[in-house]
Chains A and B, each alone.
Chain A
Amino acid sequence: MKHPIQKLAYDRTSKALYLAVGERIQKFDSVTGELRNQWIPPAQENREPAEPKTKKAKIEDNKHNVFRTLTCSPDGQYVVGSTDEQKSLVVLDAYLRVVNVRNFPKRPSAIDITSDSSTVILGDKFGDVYAVPICDLAHPPSAGLSKISEASESESGSELEPILGHVSMLVDLLVTEDQRGMRHIISSDRDEHVRVTKYPESYVIERFCLGHEQFVSQLLIPKWSPNTLISGGGDDFLAHWDWTTGELLEKVDIYSILYPKSDKNGSEEQSQEAAVSGIWQVPERRLVIAYDETVKLLLIFKLHNEPRKLEYLNSFSSSILDVAMTGNNGEVWLSIDDPCDSQQLIRKFIISEQGELTAIDSELTQTISDKASFTIASRDDVVALHSVALLRKHAEH
């Protein structure tokens, strides 16, 4: 079987589709389906035989150094991702050449890029958030490629001080910029908190958006409604905020869509819990899309401005790992994780105004699916990809 595509990123400027597959990054022409570039981490074979370094030795096989995040810079010049095992931030240029690699003390869990494409904002498993210049003079590209697997403790990002921090695993973050150029970082954690912090004056916390009762794994600001924030995670609802005031405008029930026939207080199945692992937007349709990984259902909503309301339209059942929007005519790319059909790794749809999905360009997606990824022996060689539900807290004492 083939390794599934765990992350997608679409660059509008070059109409390129970036895929994160295991520890690789691939770049496709989204029109022709041509594989333009590929980045494979440097091989390990010319390393000296592993000394008994216990914990380190395990990491060296590099098998699970998979990309967990992937995003393009707004100017289309860079693609940025973060990996699990080596806890690295990897910055590649549009030809997938290494620009900057930096290792962090804790596993990165969320990244975003400032609108001027100058800085990566990175949050980690420990709740700390760092601002990392995209082109970092301290980490020139010449050193990058050969050093990716050898980035030593000394240059492991310890010189970077966090610009803000939660005392809980940081799960998502985004950088916003309003018309006056005022910027904020919105960050969310496993302890139900959504925080709004000024940037770069990150010592000023503006407010908290409090209302969640479970982890908050996804944040979204719709392009057509810049004061709005949609957040979701382990709760039975999506929260619809005005993040500039902190007001919770509405809680949008998703439980009754995910578990339509069941009674919420029914005792039969305790495990009927929500775990929203993705929230995206289709600006040209004013749609907000959320994905629940436990039920494997894509939920499509329309966001109205007057009055401000998130209206449920439709759902689509599929095992999805990531979604990328082209911003054109309701086109969306879906990364499919179907254990029965591992040949179809990616599909393309048109979403209508009413939230209905129609598959298109099947030849193109088959071309990309054939060229994308690489063969693996079995599912055991893939790290856990649907793991957002594990963020739910189980108190000890």
Chain B
Amino acid sequence: MADDQNSQLVREGSSTPGSTSNKRKRADYRQTQQERRQELKTVVFEGNDKSQDNIKLPKKKYYRQRAHSNPFSDHLLEYPISPGHMDWHKLYPALIPTKPGTATEIVKKVEIVDVGCGFGGLLVSLATEFPDKLILGMEIRVQVTHYVEDRIIALRQQHAIQGTYNNIAVLRANAMKFLPNFFEKGQLSKMFFCFPDPHFKLRKHKARIVTSTLTSEYAFLLRPGGIVYTITDVLDLHQWMVKHLEAHALFKRLSKEWEDEDPCVKIMRKDTEEGKKVERNKGDKWVACFVRLDDPE
């Protein structure tokens, strides 16, 4: 008995130091980043400010989180009661200078959304591809959202002279439930669904981000002519998304030729984190894009 306890102690003693110090390191890192995030989130970086060294890009290893999140559970989420209640100044401080209600001129609205933006690879590339548009990434996992926030802060500061990356932002949100709380009818021109959770089990298919019922919501948010982009490395999911979007009366699939010419498709294939991983593993990537048709009379 005593021996057992001793050996238990020895085992714990020998195994813990490494993991504890790693844990502490991660906690410290997260703490520091958290404080800096709170401080710098809404700062507009000026190009001639030499007082600060460049902020380092965040390290992904400190933000790891399990890859799945239950979209049906009641997360502690913050979302506005309606789009009119949303304070976009918080997210785009350089481009939306004032809080809602105080602006006299018409302010820019978010037009491009990356649903489930993950570590933000697509966002960062879209920022320079569409410098005039406001682009929003939505992600349900807390740590991953923090990573993208820190990444955007660092990029804004590092590129303060060029003034780039002020047009991208990230938000922790459950896009399956609350998109209409953020955007008005027809506000969006592009929606991206890149490497979504495949939810393989039949029972879990309602948790997929493209279903016939959710597609109606995407049609509501997209203006006629707007585009839904999908990419996945899971053939079954690709076929599922194509089936549901093609069956929807307000969407029409775009041709292979269109895909080949569209810059966003290229970015989606090359610059998403998942896209890079699939590339390394020499896996297949399936792309399908759909245009939002006019409402029926």
Identify which of B72, B81, B219 contacts A211 (C-beta below 8 A): B81
- Is the Cβ of B214 less than 8 Å from the Cβ of A395? no
- Is the Cβ of A393 less than 8 Å from the Cβ of B74? yes
Q: Is A112 located at the chain interface by the 8 A CB criterion?
A: no
Contacts of A166 in B (CB 8 A): 213
- Chain A 181-207 near chain B by CB (<8 Å), digits 1 or 0: 000000000011101010001111101
- Chain B 279-297 near chain A by CB (<8 Å), digits 1 or 0: 0000000000000000110
Q: Is B276 located at the chain interface by the 8 A CB criterion?
A: no
Given A191-B178, A207-B185, A211-B82, verify A396-B74 contact (CB < 8 Å): yes
- Chain B 257-296 near chain A by CB (<8 Å), digits 1 or 0: 0000000000000000000000000000000000000011
Identify which of B181, B212, B296 contacts A210 (C-beta below 8 A): B181
Q: Is B90 located at the chain interface by the 8 A CB criterion?
A: no
- Is the Cβ of B74 less than 8 Å from the Cβ of A203? no
- Chain A 158-172 near chain B by CB (<8 Å), digits 1 or 0: 000110111110000
- Is the Cβ of A396 less than 8 Å from the Cβ of B73? yes
Taking CB atoms and an 8 Å cut-off, the chain A residues in 188-239 that contact chain B are: 191-193, 195, 197, 201-205, 207-208, 210-213
Contacts of A204 in B (CB 8 A): 216, 219, 250, 295-296
Interface size class of B (residues with CB under 8 A): 20 to 34
Q: Is B24 located at the chain interface by the 8 A CB criterion?
A: no
Q: Is B248 located at the chain interface by the 8 A CB criterion?
A: yes
Give complex CA distance A396, B69 in Å: 12
Q: Is A128 located at the chain interface by the 8 A CB criterion?
A: yes
Taking CB atoms and an 8 Å cut-off, the chain B residues in 152-185 that contact chain A are: 176-178, 180-181, 185
Give complex CA distance A16, B272 in Å: 64
Report the minimum CB–CB distance from B140 to chain A (whole Å): 11
Q: Is A180 located at the chain interface by the 8 A CB criterion?
A: no
Q: Is B75 located at the chain interface by the 8 A CB criterion?
A: yes
Q: Is B206 located at the chain interface by the 8 A CB criterion?
A: yes
- Is the Cβ of B249 less than 8 Å from the Cβ of A203? yes
Residue of B nearest to A169 (CB): B72
Contacts of B213 in A (CB 8 A): 127-128, 162, 164-166
- Chain B 6-28 near chain A by CB (<8 Å), digits 1 or 0: 00000000000000000000000
Report the minimum CB–CB distance from B74 to chain A (whole Å): 5
- Is the Cβ of B177 less than 8 Å from the Cβ of A167? yes
- Is the Cβ of A203 less than 8 Å from the Cβ of B73? no
Q: Is B217 located at the chain interface by the 8 A CB criterion?
A: yes
Give complex CA distance A168, B213 in Å: 12
Report the minimum CB–CB distance from B177 to chain A (whole Å): 5
Contacts of A164 in B (CB 8 A): 213, 216
- Is the Cβ of B81 less than 8 Å from the Cβ of A396? no
Identify which of A127, A208, A210, A396 contacts B75 (C-beta below 8 A): A396
- Is the Cβ of A208 less than 8 Å from the Cβ of B249? no
Interface size class of A (residues with CB under 8 A): 20 to 34
- Is the Cβ of A165 less than 8 Å from the Cβ of B250? no
Report the minimum CB–CB distance from A107 to chain B (whole Å): 15
Q: Is A56 located at the chain interface by the 8 A CB criterion?
A: no
Contacts of A55 in B (CB 8 A): none
The tally of CB-CB contacts under 8 A between chains A and B is 69
- Is the Cβ of A161 less than 8 Å from the Cβ of B212? yes
Given A162-B212, A162-B213, A205-B216, verify A210-B206 contact (CB < 8 Å): no
Q: Is B71 located at the chain interface by the 8 A CB criterion?
A: yes
Contacts of B74 in A (CB 8 A): 393-396
Give complex CA distance A242, B83 in Å: 18
Identify which of A126, A205, A397 contacts B217 (C-beta below 8 A): A205
Give complex CA distance A191, B214 in Å: 15
Contacts of A213 in B (CB 8 A): 81
Give complex CA distance A331, B206 in Å: 45
Give complex CA distance A128, B215 in Å: 13
Taking CB atoms and an 8 Å cut-off, the chain B residues in 58-86 that contact chain A are: 71-77, 81-83
Residue of A nearest to B176 (CB): A167
Taking CB atoms and an 8 Å cut-off, the chain A residues in 39-92 that contact chain B are: none
Given A167-B72, A203-B249, A208-B180, verify A192-B216 contact (CB < 8 Å): no
Contacts of B81 in A (CB 8 A): 192, 210-213
- Is the Cβ of B71 less than 8 Å from the Cβ of A167? yes
Give complex CA distance A211, B82 in Å: 7
Give complex CA distance A396, B77 in Å: 10
Q: Is B220 located at the chain interface by the 8 A CB criterion?
A: yes
- Chain B 191-230 near chain A by CB (<8 Å), digits 1 or 0: 0000000000000001000011111110110000000000
Give complex CA distance A369, B85 in Å: 51
- Is the Cβ of A203 less than 8 Å from the Cβ of B181? no
- Is the Cβ of B72 less than 8 Å from the Cβ of A203? no
Contacts of B295 in A (CB 8 A): 204
Contacts of A197 in B (CB 8 A): 216
- Is the Cβ of A205 less than 8 Å from the Cβ of B177? no
Taking CB atoms and an 8 Å cut-off, the chain A residues in 382-397 that contact chain B are: 393-397
- Is the Cβ of A205 less than 8 Å from the Cβ of B211? no
- Is the Cβ of B180 less than 8 Å from the Cβ of A126? no
Contacts of B83 in A (CB 8 A): 210
Contacts of B177 in A (CB 8 A): 167-168, 191
Give complex CA distance A396, B217 in Å: 26
Contacts of B211 in A (CB 8 A): 165
Give complex CA distance A120, B77 in Å: 35
Contacts of A167 in B (CB 8 A): 71-72, 176-177, 214
Report the minimum CB–CB distance from B257 to chain A (whole Å): 27
Residue of A nearest to B250 (CB): A203
Identify which of A162, A205, A212 contacts B219 (C-beta below 8 A): A205
Contacts of A127 in B (CB 8 A): 213
Give complex CA distance A161, B214 in Å: 13
- Is the Cβ of A397 less than 8 Å from the Cβ of B206? no
11 contacts between A and B (CB under 8 A): A126-B206, A168-B72, A191-B177, A203-B219, A203-B248, A203-B249, A208-B180, A211-B81, A213-B81, A396-B73, A396-B75
Binding site for B on A (CB under 8 A): 126-128, 161-162, 164-168, 191-193, 195, 197, 201-205, 207-208, 210-213, 393-397
- By Cβ-Cβ distance, the 7 closest A-B pairs, closest first, are A165-B213, A210-B82, A395-B76, A205-B220, A167-B176, A393-B74, A208-B180
Known pairs A165-B212, A204-B216; list 8 more (Cβ under 8 Å): A167-B72, A197-B216, A203-B216, A205-B216, A207-B185, A208-B180, A395-B76, A397-B75
